[in-house]
A and B are shown apart, each in its own frame.
Chain A
């Protein structure tokens, strides 16, 4: 386990070398692979040809004509003959002997570029001083470098009402648009959810939304679909379009996309970033800052396990926006809207800024939390933890969102300071089978499958994994492979999601609980989709992607391992949270020490003990999150040390809160006030990612180091733990990032034996009676998670929660499409509009954690559980949706 990137272990098959062509640009000879565009070749020589529509990751358009160059090519006799017209270098492939002259050496090219630039500017508003793009605008920059100093245009400019609100987040000022079509090509080619397109022609041509005024549809009422309050209280803007009417559409108001549905995309923010002018802006950043006032820090997104490269821009200590970074190996140039817009959570008013200590009355009842000095807080925490350690022990729940450095510190703190293996970062449904799977297959096997492999894989099987909702940019990379190489995607899921259909994927229909059965049938039956999937997966380079949800299906991960062995497909585990993969490597699992060393292996313990300079490590394998909480509730566990855990994520939030209330001593390391801090005896504030350096291990196992973006006095978890250990008279030696890295490197990789593969027998699906259904559920990418707090514009683009059932199931309970469906357990009920979906009968799907659909706190159930379903009597109103009122964290 090192903090440097290990080489991909995937088979590096030798690809045939692409023949090269040699030609000249501005008299400089260059050899490039055949098929290279002239504009790309010029970049290699450091020759910047101005451009707008060109984008390396999009298909050439040749629309803006800004990149014109003078070209001559050899004829059949080899005489170099000039082409009659200047050529667009963004669409022109280099050919042998071609002679290209750019604006640097050709008066014709220079004149052509100046001419096009002047034409682009005649209708462009001179509003740079108020435009968000001003200062970082390709049009502005290239107008300076390749344009005229004055315009000869004295006539009337074309104008448009501004802006159109495409969604609550994305705004479009058509007057600034240069019609390069980058946004429309992105949504068509990359994300696959086209929502805006060219309309009208000539000077009236515009990027637009579905607009009946343009198309002249009878009966379609043009309405204002977006008016809202700006964060400062001023009135927001109105947009023209058709009001979105789709039960599964976005939360906020949006215009209709080209498929006729309300525009809803997880990737729409990318269009803002690639817009070469200020035509597309985000509501969140509009009029907030000047680029030249911003300080930029390259960073890594904390929102999912992809480890997408981002750029954090802050102004006087306040983060005002995030952009996609460029990392060809990981996220290319794309990020999800969650990565881009969900950053205010790090600086909300509920940040814990000082240590807090709770005094207990003599009878043990809890008093109020009060601010305390660090010295006092450490002293109280140390005393309490030492006492709890003696009274049954202390369990450690670090949560799955921590950087590697912190996870490592928790892993070591548990073993060295608390002398226990009771540490588990899994704050979600989990199982012993999963732990064995992680120990056997995941730990210590980094970079066995990479993003590049996903793009090349001729077939990919998704198991309990929705790439769009749970993988973010994983979806984009899969789609790239589907489009470029006709890769095939199969998904073991209850229904074909919109994401799967955009991957051209094949559904291997599976009701919750039947996944092991379906997995075992792949390739072992003659049924068309299953047999086809088996054949496809047998092709070299094929991949199985399994999501964290399969942990909740007994026998699921065992079946996946069997399938991988049977087909030869490589297997990768993609958890949702950024810290899960790092936790596996750092040893925040009850049976794993750092580097994937099994606790049960004496050699492994000696290995780690030597590096940690301790005589011996606890031998007994620890307890899982659920077991620890149960022990805390019944008093057999003396205390809990909790990191970034939101109890609502846990399999049984109510039981977790009971345990937190009951436990003898509770220490919470938190960024913001939460349901845990509410109950803690000592709260130690820690730094969010933006205020500390760190490293995420993404799902590939690739280290994604990020620096500290903001100046801050907040400390990362590992430093707080180091100080806490000091207070308990143990030298942890993890005060600085450099110390942690040095020690991680010293511990190194494990070359000993691996844990055995799990072989758990599938339990089979639950039997449902009349008015019952098996629950299927997963998290939507944009939901009610606390990481998205404080970003109302983004929240408006989140999909509306709906309940999905098959038509037969609906009719069996007398439910019609769109009618409110009541899903209940003895613990609570959820009411959502029903959407009839092609899926197995007797199954109901609801989102796990969306507003109005808090499955775990409300139903205290998870996927595979049997729930009661019936049509809701009353008309659906948001107020009728029951949420866990006990759950204080949500109220904050």
Chain B
């Protein structure tokens, strides 16, 4: 039985001015909040727990359970912080969500804040996406104007303020404790845990940190009910999610579907791989997840099945690469990303990504040795599970899985002394670098990124 799309969050993205509060209200917006305000906050937490909603930011931790970790109220402030620092390569779900329907996030925050006893919530949005930042500011303003935020919301006596904060552009600030430090105005580096944010988070107060999509899923759970939500997805991976297809695919974009859908089904909806080409490899959950190949087309995209197949569902960022793609080149670009974005706090990630980047660049340009492959794998082993936070682990995923799946391609670079692929063939668009410097860099074969950092 073919799985079909299940647009909920994205249901009205195609409407005229979908981002306005008017459009949102016209399509049943804020019904969840109205219902929630009549409920006992504890029942909201139970409902989200029972729904089986798991964190949509990558780790998949049960959302309701996370809320229930907050200690009993002691009269002091408690915070909700929405992690909108989406910066994983390939991941592009929260940005369009906040562009097309920011009100669902605001409503989700209002419900969640009511449930956990928070009166001041924060959205930490990636600073580079200025258009989203502006849209969020406007959405929050509209919500205040209509009484969905502020004092005595909808006459319930519940108060909530939302602050939208723009980050300064660091991948590490998507890590929840680094995000909290950054939000406090400190240097964004992960904190020691324990204490966990639920106990001592923002300003050392109990704090829930959730992904945009997780919070945006909450209104539908409250409005539609637990059973409706659980009717989608699998037993342990309930509900729907945004699947972001990108790369060598006919119709890239967001596909909101029940968890457990396969890439084969998604590709059918997306018109398949680029015309005249075939699937070579893909990432199931962004660049921090081990690679899959055509052999994995029928793996159900839920947390358990993807994990059993040796990767991670992550952020459901499905980057599709066809046979024109040099896997060494792709992995080197990712490695360069991680080296650039390592926060520097711990040795394995800081030094290891710097090393991986250089070795991969040499291999890509035909200057590698067979010994380098073993070194790469061993350096990855010395990073994986040794780093302070999960970023270091993520940096190794594509390297280790890439060598495991495509070792002969790495060896071909080494034996041939050059890359056997034509980068232009893999490009989606015809492009010839105009500046001589860029052209020289792209085509010279000189190891990139070996000097400086």
Q: Could you tell me which A residues sit within 8 Å of B by CB distance?
A: 60-66, 68, 84-86, 91, 111-112, 115-116, 118-120, 122-123, 152-153, 155-156, 158, 178-179, 197-198, 200-205
**Residue among A118, A119, A122, A153 with most chain B CB within 10 A:** A119
Q: Is the CB of A205 within 8 A of B192?
A: no
Given contacts A85-B386, A155-B359, A155-B362, list 13 more A-B pairs with CB under 8 A.
A62-B192, A68-B386, A115-B383, A116-B347, A118-B382, A119-B382, A123-B354, A152-B371, A155-B355, A158-B453, A198-B189, A203-B339, A203-B342
The secondary structure that dominates the B interface is helix
Q: Counting CB contacts under 8 A, is B122 at the interface?
A: no
A interface majority secondary structure: loop
**A-B contact list, 11 entries, CB within 8 Å:** A60-B192, A62-B388, A65-B387, A115-B383, A119-B348, A152-B371, A152-B378, A179-B350, A201-B343, A202-B353, A204-B344
Complex: how many Å from CA A86 to CA B344? 20
Complex CA distance for A559 and B348, rounded to whole angstroms: 61
Contact B382 A179 (CB under 8 A): no
Are B344 and A205 neighbours in the complex by a CB distance under 8 Å?
yes
A to B contact number (C-beta, < 8 Å): 110
Determine if B278 is an interface residue (Cβ-Cβ < 8 Å).
Answer: no
Q: A202 to B453: give the CA distance in the assembly, Å.
A: 9
Partner of B344, one of A61, A112, A118, A203: A203
Q: Name the interface residues of B328-355: CB closer than 8 Å to any CB of A.
A: 339-348, 350-355
- From known contacts A64-B346, A85-B386, infer whether A115 and B381 are also in contact, taking CB-CB under 8 Å: yes
Assess the B187–A202 pair: CB atoms within 8 A. Answer: no
Bound Cα distance A84, B385 (Å): 8
Given contacts A65-B347, A202-B350, contact A116 B192 (CB under 8 A): no
Q: Which residue of B lies closest to A156 (CB)?
A: B450
Contact with A along B370-387 (1 / 0, CB 8 A): 010001001101110111
Cα–Cα, bound, A118→B379 (Å): 9
A123-B351, A204-B344 as given contacts; A65 in contact with B339, CB under 8 Å: no
A63 with B354: in contact, given A115-B386, A158-B453 (CB under 8 Å)? Answer: no
Is A86 within 8 A of B385, CB to CB?
yes
Nearest residue in A to B351 (C-beta to C-beta)?
Answer: A119
Instruction: Please measure, in the bound complex, the distance between the C-alpha atom of A84 and the C-alpha atom of B384, giving whole angstroms.
Output: 11
| Most central of B172, B345, B358 by chain A CB within 10 Å | B345
* Chain A positions within 8 Å of B15 at CB level: none
Query: Within 8 Å CB of A68, what residues of B?
Result: 386
Residues from chain B with a CB closer than 8 A to the CB of A120 are 347, 351
| Neighbouring B residues of A118 by C-beta, 8 Å | 382
**How far does the Cβ of B368 sit from chain A's closest Cβ, in whole Å?**
10
A304 to chain B, nearest CB (A): 35
Residues of A with C-beta under 8 A to B388: 62-63, 65
B354 touches A202 (CB 8 A): yes
Report chain A residues within 8 Å CB of B72.
Answer: none
- Interface size classification for chain B: 35 or more
Is B160 in contact with chain A by the CB < 8 A criterion? no
In this complex, what residue of A is CB-closest to B172? A201
- How many angstroms between the C-alpha atoms of A119 and B382 in the bound complex? 9
Whether A205 pairs with B343 at a CB distance below 8 angstroms is yes
B53 interface hit (Cβ, 8 Å): no
Residues of B within 8 A of A60 (CB): 192
Q: Which of B172, B192, B346, B347 has the most CB of A within 10 A?
A: B347
Supposing A63-B345, A203-B339, A205-B344 touch, asked if A122 and B355 sit within 8 A by C-beta, the answer is: yes
Q: Give Cα A66–Cα B383 distance, bound, in whole angstroms.
A: 12
Q: Is there contact, CB below 8 Å, between B382 and A112? A: yes
The answer to whether the Cβ of B451 comes within 8 Å of any Cβ in the partner chain is yes
Residues of B contacting A155 in the complex (Cβ-Cβ under 8 angstroms): 355, 358-359, 362, 450
Give the shortest distance, in Å, between A147 (CB) and chain B (any CB). 12
Within the complex, what minimum Cβ distance (angstroms) separates A197 from chain B?
8
CB-defined interface of B133-171 with A at 8 Å, one 1/0 digit per residue? 000000000000000000000000000000000000010
Task: Tell me if A112 and B343 are in contact (CB < 8 A).
Answer: no
Q: Is the CB of A65 within 8 A of B346?
A: yes
**Residues in chain B within 8 A of chain A (CB atoms):** 170, 172, 187, 189, 192, 339-348, 350-355, 358-359, 362, 371, 375, 378-379, 381-383, 385-388, 450-453
Residues of A near B342 (CB, < 8 A) are 201-203
Within the complex, what minimum Cβ distance (angstroms) separates A121 from chain B?
Answer: 9
Q: In the complex, are the beta carbons of A152 and B375 less than 8 A apart?
A: yes
Q: Which residues of B contact A91 (CB under 8 A)?
A: 192
Residue of B at shortest CB range from A206? B344
- Distance of B320 from chain A, by nearest CB (Å): 29
Q: Which residue of B lies closest to A202 (CB)?
A: B342
CB-CB under 8 A for A156 and B358, given A63-B388, A179-B350: yes
CA distance A205 to B375 in the complex (A): 24
| A205→B189 CA distance, assembly (Å) | 12
Chain B residues whose CB sits within 8 angstroms of the CB of A65 once the complex forms: 346-348, 386-388
The 4 closest A-B pairs by CB, nearest first: A205-B344, A115-B382, A85-B385, A155-B358
Contacts of B344 in A (CB 8 A): 179, 198, 200-205
Q: How far is the CA of A111 from the CA of B358 in the complex (A)?
A: 23
Docked pose: A722 CA to B280 CA in angstroms: 96
Residues on B with C-beta less than 8 A from A111 are: 381-382
> Across the two chains, which residue of chain B brings its CB closest to A118?
B382
What separation, in Å, do the CA atoms of A428 and B347 have in the docked complex?
A: 54
CA distance A86 to B378 in the complex (A): 16
Q: A60-B192, A65-B386, A65-B388 are in contact. Are A203 and B354 (CB under 8 A)?
A: yes
B347 in contact with A198 (CB, 8 Å): no
Cβ A66 vs Cβ B354 within 8 A = no
What chain A residues lie within 8 Å of B379 (beta carbons)?
Answer: 115, 119
Centre residue among A64, A65, A84, A198 by max chain B CB count within 10 A = A65
Which chain A residues border B352 with CB–CB below 8 Å? 119
Evaluate contact between B343 and A202: CB separation under 8 angstroms. yes
- Least CB distance from A91 to B in Å reads 6
In whole Å, how far is A348's beta carbon from the nearest beta carbon of chain B?
Answer: 45
User: How far, in Å, is A387 (CB) from chain B's closest CB?
Assistant: 74
- The complex places the Cα of A112 from the Cα of B351 at a distance, in Å, of 14
Given contacts A201-B172, A205-B344, contact A158 B354 (CB under 8 A): yes
Residue of B nearest to A115 (CB): B382
A68 smallest CB distance to B (angstroms):
6
B343 CB to nearest chain A CB (Å): 5
The residue on A at minimum CB distance from B352 is A119
Q: Report how far A455 CA is from B378 CA in the complex, Å.
A: 48
Known contacts A86-B385, A112-B386, A203-B453: A119-B343 contact under CB 8 Å: no
With both chains docked as a complex, state the minimum distance between the C-beta of A194 and any C-beta of chain B, in angstroms. Answer: 12
Asked if A202 and B355 sit within 8 Å, CB to CB, the answer is no
Complex contact B386–A198 (CB within 8 A): no
Most buried by A among B348, B352, B450: B348
With A62-B192, A62-B388, A198-B344: A203-B382 Cβ-Cβ less than 8 Å: no
In the complex, how many angstroms separate the beta carbon of B65 from the nearest chain A beta carbon?
A: 17
A63, A86, A200 pick with most chain B CB within 10 angstroms: A63
B196 vs chain A, min Cβ distance (A): 14
Interface centre among A86, A120, A122, A203 (most CB of B within 10 A): A203
Complex Cα spacing A64 to B347, Å: 5
User: When chains A and B are docked, how far (Å) is the Cα of A420 from the Cα of B452?
Assistant: 76
- Chain A residues near B339 (CB, 8 Å)? 202-203
Using Cβ atoms and an 8 Å threshold, which residues of chain A touch B351?
Answer: 119-120, 122-123, 203
**Bound state CA distance, A202 and B339, in angstroms?**
6
How far apart are the CA atoms of A122 and B354 in the complex, in Å?
A: 9
| Contact residues in A for B172 (Cβ distance below 8 Å) | 201
Which residue of A66, A68, A152 has the most chain B CB atoms within 10 A of its CB atom?
A152
Min distance, Cβ A198 to any Cβ of chain B, angstroms: 6
Closest to A199 in B: B187
With A119-B352, A201-B170 known as contacts, the answer to whether A178 contacts B347 (CB < 8 A) is yes
Chain B residues in 8 Å Cβ range of A179: 344-345, 347, 350
Residue of chain A at shortest CB distance from B374:
A152
Q: Report the minimum CB–CB distance from B35 to chain A (whole Å).
A: 37
Q: How far is the CB of B3 from chain A (nearest CB, A)?
A: 32
Interface centre among B346, B351, B450 (most CB of A within 10 A): B351
